[in-house]
Amino acid sequence: MSNERFTPSGIPLKPVYTAKDIADLNPETDIGEPGKFPFVRGIYPTMYRQQPWAILENTGFDLAADTKKRTQMYIKAGAEHYFNRGSVHLVFDLPTLYGYDSDYPGISYEVGKNGVHISSLQDMEELFADYDLEKTHVSFVPYGVSPIIFAMYLALAEKRGVSWDKLSGAVDNCPLLGPLGENCVIFPWEPTLRLVVDTIKFGIKNVPKFNLLVIPIYSVRERGGNAIQELAIGLAVGRLVMERIAKAGVKPEELSSRFLFFLSIDNHLFEEVAKLRALRKLWAQIMKNQFDITDPRVSAIRLYVMPGGSTLQAQQPLNNIVRCALHGLVGALGGVQVMGMPAYDEAIGIPTEAAGRLAVHTQRIIMHETGVTDVADPLGGSYYIEWLTYRVEVEVQQYLDKIDTMGGYVAALESGYLLSEIDAWAFRQQEQLQKGEKQVVGVNILHEEPVQGEVFRYDATTASRALERLKTLKQQRDNQKVAQALESLKAAAAGQGEVMPAILEAARAYATVGEIAGVLRQVFGEAKGLGM
């Protein structure tokens, strides 16, 4: 085996790093201090002494009542957001993500798979029955149906008599990376961007404690991209959204504190820490240089991470406990604000309760038992880490410049460049694995006979239960009111004004995800072709 070493992104490494390797870096402007521009070392002066990271756990399967039981279990196990709020983090099934109800032809098998099925305000009511909304942080990952799911949650709060200014949470609201990952994109580019901006504007005006934009560059890594591609593409998308909201009259400072990047944590501990540090600096520079932000606090970006599901292995799944713990340590060393943690059996299916509980406890052990929260940026000043952070920064900037020369993110995507780059890198990684150049315990080294453990089982009645609930809903609701709301939505979408108020009115009337998305499809059309 060659004695050469590279990071997973292809950065060559020396055996030893010394002061000479960072002699050209200015300690003040290139690195700085925690809580100060350019935020390489973190966005708060004392970091986790001031506020530990928030703990999330992905939840979603079968129907609302089924998922509610699991979210309650996670909160009891220690899933907690800022200010002692219980943490609920919801993912949705494919029918919901694509804007279809359970009665749409040919999708019954997918109902409740890999996410909860939500059809209407009625499901939202069941999902949050017994929850104190003012004491719960709720984050949604609905991609293209973000405005619809957000509206249903707001309608739920209204029915409960909870003021929107008391709600805490986040809505993903960024399907723009769909073609590079989950591909849950419904509408063409311009209507998609319009809905993203519209949701942000509505939230800024009406829901002051909700995060309104989460850019899921996690998808880039899960498709097979590397850390450099992950950051460069994320920055390109972030700039695109900031440019669009500026044209819509929203000031950058109105969004900056309600905006996160969502990244994957991969296996190379040092490159992953370096990328988190580099991302903060690159975004701060973009805010200062491109958007003329003079207040450093507005330039500080918050980071949300989750260990990459693709790093977990179905072979010898208990090994994933170690992988997840190390990835969680990376997030803490990298100074993130929010962290999710996959369960060790997620390479096989939906986590079992025991595995999910252990995932929450893993974060708690890192937080309370390792000392990692005692000192801000504990790896800061390491010759290796500072050199690697700067090298990642340079590589990302070069990749971002190339995207710019192609006309920006949309042009680079539609040309096929980004897809081909990511897929080529994924192929290279798989080839290295098959040749033994990349070693993964239990996959291509240290094989053992598989041991059958407990696995999650879906409820076989989920699709039929969903259909029955939908049928009953349509019989009991005021269908004339629904029809009027959908007609108003159609008019709003066909016009040039805001669409979110009309979506909210339809949600209040118990219009379904499929009905609301169906009206928007009539007006906007559907996404087609490469990149959508």
DSSP string, 467-531: HHHHHHHHHHS-HHHHHHHHHHHHHHHHSSS-SHHHHHHHHHTT--HHHHHHHHHHHH----STT
Name the burial class of residue 289, with classes exposed (0-12), middle (13-18) and buried (19+) by CB atoms within 10 angstroms of its CB: exposed
Residue pLDDT, tens place only, 182-234:
667 899 999 999 999 999 999 999 999 999 999 999 999 999 999 999 999 99
The dihedrals phi and psi of 141, each to the nearest 5 degrees, come to -125, 70
**Integer angstrom CA distances of residue 455 from 109, 343, 458:** 19, 12, 10
Q: How far is residue 392 CA from its own chain's centroid?
A: 22
What pLDDT does 183 receive? 67
Q: Are 284 and 296 in contact (CB under 8 A)?
A: yes
The 3-state DSSP class for residue 352 equals coil
- Angstrom distances, CA of residue 54 to CA of 209, 278, 331: 15, 21, 11
Q: Which two tokens stand for residue 212?
A: 């309104």
pLDDT at position 531 is 46
Give the pair of three-digit tokens for residue 448.
């053992």
Q: What is the pLDDT of residues 335-369, one digit of tens each?
A: 999 999 999 999 998 999 999 999 999 999 999 99
Euclidean distance between the first and the last CA atom of the chain, given in angstroms as a whole number: 42
d(CA 298, CA 259): 11
Quote the DSSP letter at residue 215: E
The domains found in the chain, sorted by start residue, are 5-435 (3.20.20.240), 474-524 (no CATH)
Number of residues that this document lists for the chain: 532
Within a 10 A sphere around the Cβ of 447, how many other Cβ atoms? 11
The two beta strands, 5-6 and 12-13, are: antiparallel
C-beta separation of 314 from 329 below 8 A:
no
Task: Identify how many contiguous H helices and E strands the chain contains and give both numbers.
Answer: 18, 12
**Can you point out the beta strands (E) in 314-389?**
338-340
Residue 397's Cβ-count burial label (10 Å; 0-12, 13-18, 19+) is middle
CB 354 within 8 A of CB 454: yes
**pTM to 2 decimal places:** 0.94
Burial of 475 (0-12, 13-18, 19+ CB in 10 A): exposed
The tokens describing 107, both together, are 């999708």
| 301 CB neighbour count, 10 Å cutoff | 24
Q: Is beta strand 58-59 parallel, antiparallel or unpaired with respect to 213-216?
A: unpaired
- pLDDT tens for the 532 residues of the chain, in order: 468 899 999 999 999 999 999 999 999 999 999 999 999 999 999 999 988 999 999 999 999 999 999 999 999 999 999 989 999 999 999 999 999 999 999 999 999 998 999 999 999 999 999 999 999 999 999 999 999 999 999 999 999 999 999 999 999 998 888 888 766 789 999 999 999 999 999 999 999 999 999 999 999 999 999 999 999 999 999 999 999 999 999 998 999 889 999 999 999 999 999 999 999 999 999 999 999 998 988 999 999 999 988 899 988 999 999 999 999 999 999 999 999 999 999 999 899 999 999 999 999 999 999 999 999 999 999 999 999 999 999 999 999 999 999 999 999 999 999 999 999 999 998 898 889 888 888 888 888 877 667 888 888 999 999 999 999 999 999 999 999 999 999 999 999 889 999 999 999 999 999 999 999 999 999 988 644 4
Alpha carbon distance 529, 532 (integer Å): 6
Supply the pLDDT for residue 44.
95
Minimal CA–CA distance to 43: which of 52, 34, 55?
A: 34
Which tokens go with 183?
């591909």
- DSSP state, residue 404: H
How wide is the angle at C-alpha 304 spanned by C-alphas 405 and 336, nearest 5°?
105
469 near 499, Cβ under 8 Å? Answer: no
- CA distance linking residue 500 with residue 494, whole number of Å: 13
Cβ contacts of residue 353 below 8 Å, gap of 6+?
70, 73
Q: Quick one: which H or E segment has residue 87?
A: strand 86-91
Pairing of strands 168-171, 210-211: parallel
